[in-house]
Amino acid sequence: MEGLVYPDFDLCRVDNISLDEIFSKPGRFYGGIDYGWNDPFAAVCGKLDNDGVLWNWYERYKSQTPIEEHASALPKFTNQTIIWRSEHNPEFIRRLRKGGHRVLKAKKDIKAGVDAVNARIYSGTLKVLSDRCPALFGEAEMYAYPEEDEQIIGDKPVDRDNHSMDALRYQIAGIDLKKSA
């Protein structure tokens, strides 16, 4: 566990709630995307309920797939799903919007985003359905800071095993850091 960016990610694990229960809660849907072609395209979607708890229940994790296919597979809720992007490609944005998604610019400050995710983990306001989001849990076990001589160096995670983690960071930073950006 030493050096992991989210060493207590398992605190978010939820195994005993139905989608009907999540969807019946008043709130708003939010998503996050980390675009990839050879690396996986990773997307997460959740519902932020009126108590401030983000219930992530959807992920897409797939390589070498056209953006139109991703756009049609991503959840859509009338004027509610907001996707934060990591890609600045105007064509990518156009195709997602053509697919019915509202797309906003990601807040890419890694340290602030990691801090925002950890704040939700430790406050209990991030819940992730483990059976529906396996890539999130898999990457959380590998997503780590660089080490040298068994010492953590820096506050920027190693740039690998991070596609779902980046999508999650964009999603949460977009929700929680919107006033500070």
Identify which of 26, 9, 41 has the alpha carbon closest to the alpha carbon of residue 128.
9
- Please tell me the predicted confidence (pLDDT) of residue 44: 95
Model confidence over 22-77: pLDDT tens digits?
Answer: 999 999 999 998 888 898 999 999 999 999 999 999 999 999 998 889 888 888 77
CA distances from 148 to 115, 140, 152, 168 (A): 23, 21, 7, 27
User: Reduced to 3 states, what is the DSSP secondary structure of residue 82?
Assistant: strand
How would DSSP label each residue in 117-158? HHHHHHHT-EEEETTT-HHHHHHHTT-B--EETTEE-SSS--
pLDDT for 79 beyond 60: no
Model confidence over 104-149: pLDDT tens digits?
Answer: 877 778 999 999 999 999 999 999 999 999 999 999 999 999 887 7
pLDDT for 165 beyond 80: yes
- As a whole number of angstroms, the distance between CA 52 and CA 73 comes to 26
Higher local confidence (pLDDT), 35 or 151: 35
Side-chain-facing half-sphere of 108: CA atoms under 13 Å:
7
Print burial letters for 139-169: b (CB count within 10 Å at least 16), e (below 16): bbeebbbeeeeeeeeeeebeeebbbbbbbbb
Model confidence over 85-110: pLDDT tens digits?
Answer: 666 677 888 888 888 888 887 777 89
- Please tell me the predicted confidence (pLDDT) of residue 128: 98
- Please tell me the predicted confidence (pLDDT) of residue 78: 57
pLDDT for 151 beyond 80: no
| Percentage of the chain modeled with pLDDT above 90 | 56
Which segments of the chain does DSSP mark as H helices, in order?
19-24, 67-73, 90-98, 110-123, 134-140, 163-176
Interior angle at CA 18, CA 73 and CA 136, nearest 5: 55
Model-level pTM? 0.90
